[in-house]
């Protein structure tokens, strides 16, 4: 039931809107999540600005409203076009593929989804486990904050970044706002919500690649093979799921194939479907991660170059209105969402990550479609590289080859070179080569599909003179043989390798253990709304709000500024008997308990010294202890308790 709620949240709004504006088939199915994110991104400032609470009902009504507007606009444009250009309307109906083609593509998508699902579930060891990475608690805290406060505008969420009074605070929270709608529904607790959302993103990738390849007229078997292999690459989606985790960024990269499928409507217009869907999609990508706007801009520029070089066909007279409308809508819907991000632009572009490879090593990783891998993924990298040459030979999806050169070259440069130019170009990606690495496998999947399809046809030609079967049947047999061989050599699509990689940050610690989770649960049972708990910035306690609804004093691993009450307490809490300011700040923040956890987010993390030095004594009474955490009640702070809170125990207890 839980996974159904997540899938419905991801797909239903987008499917409703996409159907209303005229999308159909594989493109509609793939664009569902992209359009959902776009609807959410646009709804956040509109509903928030009108004072409408961010909840499931109001967002559903917002979806219906924009779908009705889209339907009405599409109907009007279609009638106008039918009167002025009846030949355009008649030519809009694209020749349908055979049922056999759809079945083959569907099987390829199913394989990709199955490999991705098994890999994720094996790597995460189940949907209830906490992701131990540095960024994970922030994402969880943001989801709960939006769900509880009913406002998803970034300017209202600064508290969870230890910036409660900063009204110009910005973090793209479209991903979190969507999850906040279903969090708590149907028994969905925090980790199943976060983990099932990741799974939904993973299974959207094969669907998106299938829709993209089909839209750009790749052969059915190539489409199926490309979709099947999408979840075999380590660099995307898995590396950015264990490292970070970069959940919103991964979701955005997963939406790129759907956006590229929509781009075909600009060369072959179908009413308002292309311009409106792309405009809303740009809003969605912006709301997920601002850098993705630049990524999709590169793809669209490469498609334009392919058109100008006549590698892709276009009727300029017919496409001109769609092209102009697309640009206008992308600017109108995207720019207002980009502008608030300028608040932290310096922090993003100023980030620094050291090089991790030589120049030849970076190029080698790019050529084998194995960015950041300790050992190349030969069994998909080599076929994909051959497929790149085949795409060039046939002048097929040349813009995708160009994207491979651009993003692959950018990765190779940033992973191996430290120059001002490289830092300037990659600044929108936090100068992080891991993020850029995630952009490389898409071209690899397409090229792999081309290789497999070519191999199947080669097999049919070689065997056809000796076996009396139809060429199409022999080609299918050849494709299956190639797939089985490569699948076997890669040990099931690299499931073991990728699940091990993903599992790096899924386990019983080191940041949060099951014992520490039990301590958070105890706090939830003994604190009241409005009450905060003093905690160490470096242990797993920054998770306690997301997991148990307990408000921490320190919200992030970065820690609060030293000039704030939280920052002061982190240094001087244990000296409560010496400095009156400590008790005053505790009272102002409504703090009665302090938790000291054994977890540590990184081996070299610096603990909050004022919390780390707390020990049982006249000022601190131990009320809970287990293997992972100790909770103290602060003497003299009982007055901060409001109605409904349990005062706790005078003696230690635990499980």
Average pLDDT, the chain: 93
In this predicted structure, what is the pLDDT of residue 178?
98
Is the pLDDT reported for residue 374 higher than 90?
Answer: no
DSSP codes joined into one string, 14-72: HHHHHHHHT--HHHHHHHHHHHHHHHHHHHHHHHHHTT---SHHHHHHHHHHHHHHHHH
Is the pLDDT reported for residue 98 higher than 50?
Answer: yes
In this predicted structure, what is the pLDDT of residue 572?
96
**pTM, rounded to two decimals:** 0.95
Q: What angle do CA 144, 149, 153 make, to 5 degrees?
A: 90
State the distance between the two ends of the chain, measured CA to CA, in whole angstroms.
31
CA 329, CA 72: separation in Å to the nearest integer?
17
Percent of the chain beyond pLDDT 70? Answer: 96
Question: Mean pLDDT throughout 430-439?
Answer: 94
Neighbours of 80 (CB within 10 A): 10
Question: Mean pLDDT throughout 470-475?
Answer: 92
Query: Which of the four pLDDT bands, split at 50, 70 and 90, describes residue 1?
Result: low
Nearest one of 240, 275, 259 to 120, comparing CA atoms? 240
Question: Mean pLDDT throughout 631-651?
Answer: 67
CA 174, CA 341: separation in Å to the nearest integer?
13
Report whether 552 contacts 532 (CB < 8 A).
yes
Is the pLDDT reported for residue 172 higher than 90?
Answer: yes
Task: Name the residue with higher pLDDT: 86 or 368.
Answer: 368
Query: Which of the four pLDDT bands, split at 50, 70 and 90, describes residue 519?
Result: very high
Question: Mean pLDDT throughout 169-173?
Answer: 93
Task: Name the residue with higher pLDDT: 87 or 42.
Answer: 42
Nearest one of 148, 188, 161 to 54, comparing CA atoms? 148
Query: Which of the four pLDDT bands, split at 50, 70 and 90, describes residue 92?
Result: low
Query: Which of the four pLDDT bands, split at 50, 70 and 90, describes residue 498?
Result: very high
In this predicted structure, what is the pLDDT of residue 638?
85
Neighbours of 256 (CB within 10 A): 23
In this predicted structure, what is the pLDDT of residue 403?
98
Is the pLDDT reported for residue 437 higher than 50?
Answer: yes
Report whether 391 contacts 450 (CB < 8 A).
yes
Which of 194-208, 345-359, 407-421, 461-475 has the largest mean confidence? 194-208
Question: Mean pLDDT throughout 207-229?
Answer: 97
Query: Which of the four pLDDT bands, split at 50, 70 and 90, describes residue 646?
Result: very low
Of 220-229, 494-503, 569-578, 643-652, the least confident: 643-652
Task: Name the residue with higher pLDDT: 651 or 598.
Answer: 598
Is the pLDDT reported for residue 48 higher than 90?
Answer: yes
Question: Mean pLDDT throughout 151-157?
Answer: 95
Question: Mean pLDDT throughout 649-653?
Answer: 35
In this predicted structure, what is the pLDDT of residue 87?
64
In this predicted structure, what is the pLDDT of residue 655?
29
Encode pLDDT of 315-366 as tens digits: 998 899 999 999 999 999 999 999 888 777 777 777 777 888 989 999 999 9
3-state secondary structure of 618: coil
């Amino acid at each position: 039931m839980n996974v159904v709620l997540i899938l419905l949240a991801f797909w239903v709004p987008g499917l409703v809107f996409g159907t209303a504006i005229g999308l159909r088939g594989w493109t509609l199915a793939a664009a569902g999540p992209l359009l959902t994110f776009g609807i959410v991104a646009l709804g956040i400032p509109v509903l928030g600005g009108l004072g409408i609470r961010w909840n499931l009902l109001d967002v559903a009504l917002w979806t219906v409203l924009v779908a009705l507007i889209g339907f009405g606009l599409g109907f009007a444009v279609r009638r106008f076009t039918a009167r002025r250009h009846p030949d355009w309307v008649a030519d809009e109906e694209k020749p349908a593929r055979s049922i056999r083609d759809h079945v083959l593509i569907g099987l390829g998508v199913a394989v990709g989804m199955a490999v991705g699902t098994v890999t994720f579930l094996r790597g995460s060891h189940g949907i209830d486990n906490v992701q131990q990475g540095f960024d994970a608690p922030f994402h969880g805290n943001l989801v709960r904050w939006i769900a509880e406060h009913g406002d998803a505008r970034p300017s209202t969420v600064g508290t969870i970044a230890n910036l409660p009074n900063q009204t110009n605070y910005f973090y793209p929270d479209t991903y979190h706002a969507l999850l906040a709608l279903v969090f708590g529904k149907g028994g969905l607790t925090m980790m199943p919500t976060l983990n099932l959302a990741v799974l939904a993103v993973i299974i959207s990738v094969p669907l998106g690649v299938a829709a993209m390849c089909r839209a750009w007229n790749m052969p059915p078997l190539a489409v199926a093979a490309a979709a099947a292999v999408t979840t075999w690459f380590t660099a995307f989606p898995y590396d950015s799921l264990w490292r970070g985790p970069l959940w919103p960024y991964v979701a955005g990269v997963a939406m790129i194939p759907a956006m590229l499928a929509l781009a075909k409507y600009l060369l072959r217009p179908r009413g308002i479907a292309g311009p409106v869907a792309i405009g809303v999609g740009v809003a969605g990508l912006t709301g997920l991660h601002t850098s993705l706007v630049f990524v999709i801009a590169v793809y669209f520029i490469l498609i334009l170059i392919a058109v100008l070089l006549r590698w892709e066909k276009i009727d300029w007279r017919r496409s001109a209105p769609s092209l102009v409308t697309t640009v206008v809508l992308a600017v109108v819907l995207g720019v207002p969402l980009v502008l608030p991000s300028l608040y932290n632009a310096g922090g993003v572009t100023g980030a620094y990550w050291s090089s991790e490879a030589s120049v030849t090593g970076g190029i080698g990783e790019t050529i084998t479609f194995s960015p950041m891998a300790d050992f190349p993924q030969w069994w998909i990298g080599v076929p994909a590289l051959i497929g790149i040459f085949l795409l060039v030979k046939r002048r097929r999806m040349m813009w995708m080859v160009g994207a491979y050169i651009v993003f692959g070259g950018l990765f190779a440069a940033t992973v191996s070179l430290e120059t001002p130019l490289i830092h300037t170009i990659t600044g929108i990606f936090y100068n992080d080569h891991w993020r850029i690495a995630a952009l490389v496998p898409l071209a690899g999947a397409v090229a792999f599909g081309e290789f497999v399809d070519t191999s199947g046809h080669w097999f049919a030609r070689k065997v056809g003179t000796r076996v009396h079967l139809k060429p199409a049947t022999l080609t299918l047999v050849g494709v299956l043989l190639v797939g089985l061989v490569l699948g076997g050599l890669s040990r099931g699509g690299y499931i073991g390798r990728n699940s091990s990689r993903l599992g790096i940050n899924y386990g019983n610690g080191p940041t949060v253990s099951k014992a520490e989770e039990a301590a958070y649960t105890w706090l939830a049972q003994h604190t009241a709304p409005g009450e905060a708990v003093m905690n160490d910035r470096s242990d797993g306690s920054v998770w306690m709000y997301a997991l148990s609804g307990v408000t921490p004093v320190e919200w992030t691993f970065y820690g609060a500024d030293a000039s704030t009450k939280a920052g002061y307490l982190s240094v001087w809490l244990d000296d409560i008997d010496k400095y009156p300011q400590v008790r005053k700040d505790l009272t102002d923040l409504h703090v009665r308990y302090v938790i000291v956890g054994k977890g540590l987010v990184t081996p070299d993390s610096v603990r909050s010294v004022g919390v780390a030095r707390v020990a049982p004594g006249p000022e601190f009474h131990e009320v809970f202890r287990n293997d992972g955490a100790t909770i103290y009640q602060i003497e003299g702070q009982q007055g901060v308790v409001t109605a409904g809170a349990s005062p706790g125990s005078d003696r230690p207890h635990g499980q």
